């Protein structure tokens, strides 16, 4: 069975974070493992508390899993601060993992910060160059590129800028684009653009959609051979 690791925060409500990732791994039939970066107290009303782990605690979890069980693909979610980001980047390099999915979680849907503002440059400098796929939502893509995104052309320009930061494949997710009756994601692999659209589901229950999405990509990446991923 292929093995997938999530390096992310715990959501006590079970809709996002580590919990969403492990459920998704299970659904897609890969063996799920986790390295916890933070414990959050959350429910359907919002985030009541954020308790980050020491970077050393994150490092040890990754080390234990990496040196014994093995990792076919991994994703990162909530990383909270620059020290944790740098620790995660070091471990990815140390184990030479290449099927790396970065979900650049910044702010919870309810508005609570899940990444310190000063950690954005650490994310750009240390993690983006190591990732095979990055999956920002529109506000996250705006922060990473320092531009505003209103149109499909803006999404393309943002994807080009994120590619220039070192990410190999970029998916800008359309969940936040509430002015359209479709949810439109854009994939850019450095050469070609592809839009994926589905009719927008009218619901407020979208907590954890991005976590689930990036976990699904990670699970599927865990199952493919590297020579295939090179040409994706
Ligand atoms: N209402 C919706 N109907 C259909 N698809 C949706 C809807 N909302 C989001 N999606 C899809 O779900 C995936 C996740 O996108 P989204 O933009 O919601 O991520 P996100 O904001 O990072 O999520 P979160 O922060 O809640 O984890 C994308 O493929 C997006 O197109
Ligand atoms: C631990 C953790 N990770 C990620 C999210 C983002 O999900 P959302 O934007 O739906 O709140 C979250 N709320 N909590």
Q: What is the mean pLDDT of residues 195-200?
A: 95
Answer whether residue 40 shows pLDDT above 80: yes
* More confident of the two residues 70 and 204: 70
ipTM of the predicted structure?
A: 0.95
Answer whether residue 227 shows pLDDT above 60: no
The residues, any chain, with a CB within 8 Å of residue 173's CB and separated by 6 or more, are 135, 136, 137, 138, 183, 185, 210, 213
Residue for token pair 């986790």: 34
103 vs 69: CA distance, rounded Å: 23
Note the pLDDT of residue 197.
Answer: 95
Of 175, 194, 220, best ligand 1 pocket probe by most atoms within 8 Å of the beta carbon: 175
- The residues spanned by each domain of the chain are 3-229
Note the pLDDT of residue 84.
Answer: 98
**Structure tokens given for 19:** 């919990």
Cα-to-centroid distance, 1 and ligand 2 (Å): 28
Q: What is the mean pLDDT of residues 147-175?
A: 96
Are the C-beta atoms of 81 and 52 separated by less than 8 Å? yes
- Secondary structure (H, E, C), 89-108: HHHHHHHCCCCEEECCCCEC
Residue for token pair 């909270």: 80
Q: How far apart are the first and last CA of the chain?
A: 23
Residue percentage of the chain with pLDDT more than 70: 97
Interval 29-39: pLDDT, tens: 999 999 999 99
- Secondary structure (H, E, C), 128-159: HHHCCEECCCHHHHHHHHCCCCCCHHHHHHHH
Q: Tell me, yes or no, if 223 is annotated catalytic.
A: no
221 vs 4: CA distance, rounded Å: 9
Are the C-beta atoms of 186 and 152 separated by less than 8 Å? yes
**Using 50, 70 and 90 to split pLDDT, how confident is the model at 226?**
low
Residue with CA nearest ligand 1 atom 7: 175
Note the pLDDT of residue 231.
Answer: 46
| 46-52 and 31-43 strand pairing | antiparallel
Which CATH fold would you assign to the domain 3-229?
Answer: 3.40.1190
* Cα 94 to Cα 37, 67, 87, 175, 208, distances in angstroms: 19, 11, 10, 35, 30
Answer whether residue 163 shows pLDDT above 70: yes
**Which ligand is closest to the CA of 136, given by its number?**
1
Cα-to-centroid distance, 210 and ligand 1 (Å): 5
6 vs 25: CA distance, rounded Å: 9
Half-sphere exposure (CA, 13 Å, Cβ side) for 103? 29
How far, rounded to the nearest angstrom, does the alpha carbon of residue 63 sit from its chain's CA centroid?
20
Note the pLDDT of residue 225.
Answer: 78
């Amino acid at each position: 069975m292929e093995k997938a690791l999530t390096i992310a925060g715990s959501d006590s409500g079970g809709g996002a974070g580590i919990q969403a990732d492990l459920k998704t791994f299970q659904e897609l039939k890969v063996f799920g493992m986790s390295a916890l970066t933070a414990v959050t107290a959350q429910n359907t009303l919002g985030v009541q508390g954020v308790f980050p782990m020491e970077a050393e605690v994150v490092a040890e979890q990754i080390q234990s899993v990496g040196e014994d069980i093995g990792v076919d693909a991994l994703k990162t979610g909530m990383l909270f601060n620059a020290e944790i980001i740098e620790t995660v980047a070091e471990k990815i390099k140390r184990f030479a993992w290449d099927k790396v999915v970065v979900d650049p979680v910044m702010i919870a849907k309810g508005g609570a910060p899940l990444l310190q503002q000063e950690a954005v440059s650490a994310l750009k400098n240390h993690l983006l160059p190591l990732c095979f796929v990055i999956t920002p939502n529109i506000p996250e893509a705006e922060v990473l590129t320092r531009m505003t995104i209103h149109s499909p052309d803006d999404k393309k320009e943002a994807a080009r800028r994120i590619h220039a930061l070192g990410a190999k494949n970029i998916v800008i997710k359309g969940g936040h684009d509430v002015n359209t009756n479709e949810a439109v994601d854009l994939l850019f692999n450095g050469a070609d653009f592809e839009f994926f659209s589905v009719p927008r589901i009218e619901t407020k229950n979208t907590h954890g959609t991005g976590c689930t999405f990036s976990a699904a990509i990670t699970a599927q990446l865990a199952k493919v051979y590297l020579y295939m991923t090179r040409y994706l």
